[in-house]
Amino acid sequence: MDVDERINTIRAVWRDGDYSKVGELFAPVSDRLVAALDDELGLAGREVLDAATGTGNTALALAQAGASVHAFDLTPELLAVAERRAADAGLPIVFKEGDLLAIPFPDGVFDVVVSTFGAFIADDHRACVSELVRVCRPGGLIVSTAWAPTGLFAALREVPIAHHPELWPADRPDPDDWADPDRMAAMVTGLPVDVEVTTHVHPFWFSDVATALGFLEEVSGPVQRIRVGVAELGGDWDALRAEILRRWAQRAVVADGGVALDGVYGIARLQVHADP
Ligand SMILES: C[S@@+](CC[C@H](N)C(=O)[O-])C[C@H]1O[C@@H](n2cnc3c(N)ncnc32)[C@H](O)[C@@H]1O
């Protein structure tokens, strides 16, 4: 795949559906993460990058905490939403188009680099993590969240791929790596960082599991892409969705007239050495 084809393919996945609506579900994770970083580091006045910002959840939370925020993403349609949100909130965030594999900033300029559910889907993990380290200053901190191989999002990917392995080409990296301490340690071998991965849960509330899946089928570009892939392979999406729903129903917690689906995620913290 040449460079333009690769970029167009990524953009086509993320501009489909309505990522704003998915982002609204993810926003509490950004808010909690930024609050914890603010408690730990004090974000006011710090130079911070939000990598693969999407519709800007994390960038906005960082700016609200007083950080000086730059943010980039590969998908112009999502960046336009992020820019509008920042303007409406009066937050002076600088947004740019850019690629996780060639981050559009010089070396060592950020105190903190954050990526919520962005870096883990990079199509070359080592290139991505090297870029995150490159733009972070010595002594700085990189934090990335990644959905883990249990919980809500695992079944969505695993069930179709178990039936149609062609959906996930052998050379495409496994996003689960970013939620796994051993695989993260292997990924950063030779880079000037110490890495730590912790596991967390964000509950997604829906009236029932079928409503949850129907919602994601309607608004999630990646889910729509999987459906198209299954159809192209002559597969039976209805059978796969029934299996996903069975798996979700086994894990769902019924409460308050609805269900909570467990969004299990890892937070990878990469502490950049002060003297690389
Ligand atoms: C699940 S969304 C996360 C967005 C946002 N960080 C959030 O927390 O809502 C993944 C984002 O990664 C972006 N993305 C995917 N591959 C990328 C790449 N190679 N470079 C830059 N952005 C990329 C997509 O455009 C999308 O906005």
Residue 153 pLDDT level (bands cut at 50, 70, 90): confident
Specify the ligand 1 atom closest to the Cα of 54.
27
**Nearest-atom index, ligand 1, CA of 123:** 19
Mean predicted lDDT score pLDDT of the chain: 96
Note the pLDDT of residue 150: 86
Residues 6-18 have pLDDT tens digits of: 999 999 999 999 9
Convert the pLDDT of each residue in 57-107 to its tens digit.
Answer: 999 999 999 999 999 999 999 999 999 999 999 999 999 999 999 999 999
Confidence band (pLDDT; 50, 70, 90) for 255?
confident
Index of the ligand 1 atom closest to the CA of residue 98: 21
What tokens does 252 get?
């769902």
Q: ∠ CA 189-186-183 to the nearest 5 degrees?
A: 155
The H or E element spanning position 14 is: helix 3-15
CATH code of the domain in which 139 resides: 3.40.50.150
Question: pLDDT tens, 167-185?
Answer: 998 899 999 999 999 999 9
Å from CA of 255 to ligand 1 middle: 32
Mutation choice for ligand 1 from 14, 113, 219, CB with most ligand atoms inside 8 A = 14
Average pLDDT rounded to a whole number, residues 225-250: 96
Q: Are 177 and 125 in contact (CB under 8 A)?
A: yes
Does residue 152 register a pLDDT over 90? no
Out of 49-63, 236-250, 251-265, least confident range: 251-265
Who has greater pLDDT, 3 or 166? 166
Averaged over 242-263, what is the pLDDT?
A: 92
Under DSSP, is residue 101 helix (H, G, I), strand (E, B) or coil? coil
The reported pLDDT for the residue numbered 200 is: 96
Number of domain units in the chain: 1
The verdict on the CB of residue 10 being under 6 Å from ligand 1 is yes
Check residue 2 and give its pLDDT: 77
Structure confidence by residue, pLDDT tens digits, 105-148? 999 999 999 999 999 999 999 999 999 999 999 999 999 999 99
193 neighbors 270 (Cβ within 8 angstroms): yes
Query: How far is ligand 1, taken at its centre, from the CA of residue 145, in Å?
Result: 12
Domain that holds residue 62: 3-272
| 258 CB-near residues (< 8 Å, 6+ apart) | 205, 206, 207, 208
Whether 56 lines ligand 1, by a CB cut-off of 6 Å, is no
pLDDT at 151: 77
Tell me if 197 CB under 6 Å of ligand 1: no
Ligand 1 midpoint to CA 69 (Å): 17
